[in-house]
Structure 1
């Protein structure tokens, strides 16, 4: 009986990982709380979590906290330092934008399809805060704000690969993304007018759960920036 309960809990935890409810980097509930919430014994929880760790899905950290691992990290060889070193290279910036166009298009598509009502509300709140913050921000703050908005979309996709890759990509290549925005602001003296309209289009399509339009708007958002870089 205990073995069946352990297997059932193990599969439940895996489902949470695969559908993006348990995000890479997040901590699992303590074993005591998990046992209470699931109505099972501590030994059942310990067995299920131990199997998750053995299969490489989680790692137990100092103090006994269990963190969800990013399954793509072992295959993502470029370090954060290497990304910083390449951040001012125009050709590398273009390559980063090309990848962003594909990645954010898929994230927006799945977010429109799979986001929970609570995630849509959080995304709506973030979008409205972006509009209010406006011109008072530094270029660095704008870059961080933009990625926070897009990372929220990725996390709402409930797509394990989209979430995992977005986390790694934005972390390692932030300097290139920031560099593109800096270059654009130097060239035009302001944030391009179309960016605000594109964020609005992405936001509206996701809120309306129109997956096709969300994907198209997200892709156009990045290609618009790339065109400004090429001009």
Structure 2
């Protein structure tokens, strides 16, 4: 027999599933505590626990004793490949840039459509901080800052697959992405002349809520960097 508690826990489970699917709760992000959920949805702690157990059984979250519940990356089990040692291979680096162009183009498109004002504000803060950090920073710091900017755009896409794949792709291919920047900086001694202005244009397209332009600029940004890489050799 279905009780009122069962109905409420199923309702909460569906609500949290929707938040995960639409990127309100991102992979790796902690869910609100049981106490917070209980207060927000006016439910007992026992009902909240049932909902979280349902999400855990579905593989959407992991719950740690004393550490709360964390949203899982649904693609992680399909991305178990070691790419160690190939990050400095030019052909591989070029392939990584091809994937980045497609991935970041879609992320920018949907971020322009779906980003909340709060997310745009945080992207803006990161954009301005990145511009200030570009001079005098190490190559490693610049690579991390660039990916942080693009990862924030991916999270603002509110597309679970874009967010999940971006996380895994950037982590797995970081050595290659770092290698691209390292090769380029060794040749030019600085960021190539167009990259800073391209970041500015992408950010402005997001603010203008122009998805087609945001996608176009994001793709052009990566293709420009890829061309610089090809000219290094």
C-alpha distance after superposition, 1:153-177 (max 9, x if no partner) = 0011100000000000111110000
Alignment correspondent of 2:196? 196
Helix, strand or coil at the partner of 1:192: coil
Q: Aligned equivalents of 1:94 and 1:85: distance in 2?
A: 15
Alignment correspondent of 1:37? 40
Deviation at 1:187, TM superposition (A): 1.6
Alignment correspondent of 1:105? 105
Helix, strand or coil at the partner of 1:67: strand
Deviation at 1:84, TM superposition (A): 3.3
8 Å CA contact 1:202–1:214 kept in 2: the answer is: yes
The normalised TM-score by structure 1 is 0.96
Q: Aligned equivalents of 1:39 and 1:24: distance in 2?
A: 26
Q: Aligned equivalents of 1:43 and 1:175: distance in 2?
A: 45
C-alpha distance after superposition, 1:67-122 (max 9, x if no partner) = 110000011121xxx33311101111011101000000000000000000000111
Deviation at 1:132, TM superposition (A): 2.0
Deviation at 1:64, TM superposition (A): 4.7
Q: Aligned equivalents of 1:145 and 1:84: distance in 2?
A: 22
Deviation at 1:33, TM superposition (A): 2.0
Task: Supply the RMSD in Å over aligned alpha carbons.
Answer: 1.0
Give the gaps of 5 or more residues in structure 2.
none
Q: Aligned equivalents of 1:174 and 1:62: distance in 2?
A: 32
| Residue 69 (str. 1) matches residue 84 (str. 2) | no
Give the gaps of 5 or more residues in structure 1.
none
Alignment correspondent of 2:57? 54
8 Å CA contact 2:133–2:142 kept in 1: the answer is: no
8 Å CA contact 1:84–1:176 kept in 2: the answer is: no
The normalised TM-score by structure 2 is 0.95
C-alpha distance after superposition, 1:114-136 (max 9, x if no partner) = 00000011111111122222312
Q: Which has the higher helix share?
A: 1
Alignment correspondent of 1:212? 212
Helix, strand or coil at the partner of 1:83: coil
1:167-186 equivalences in 2 (<5 Å): 167-186=167-186
Structure 1 177/45 Cα, relative in aligned 2: closer, same or farther at 3 Å?
A: same
1:16-27 equivalences in 2 (<5 Å): 16-27=19-30
| Residue 93 (str. 1) matches residue 93 (str. 2) | yes
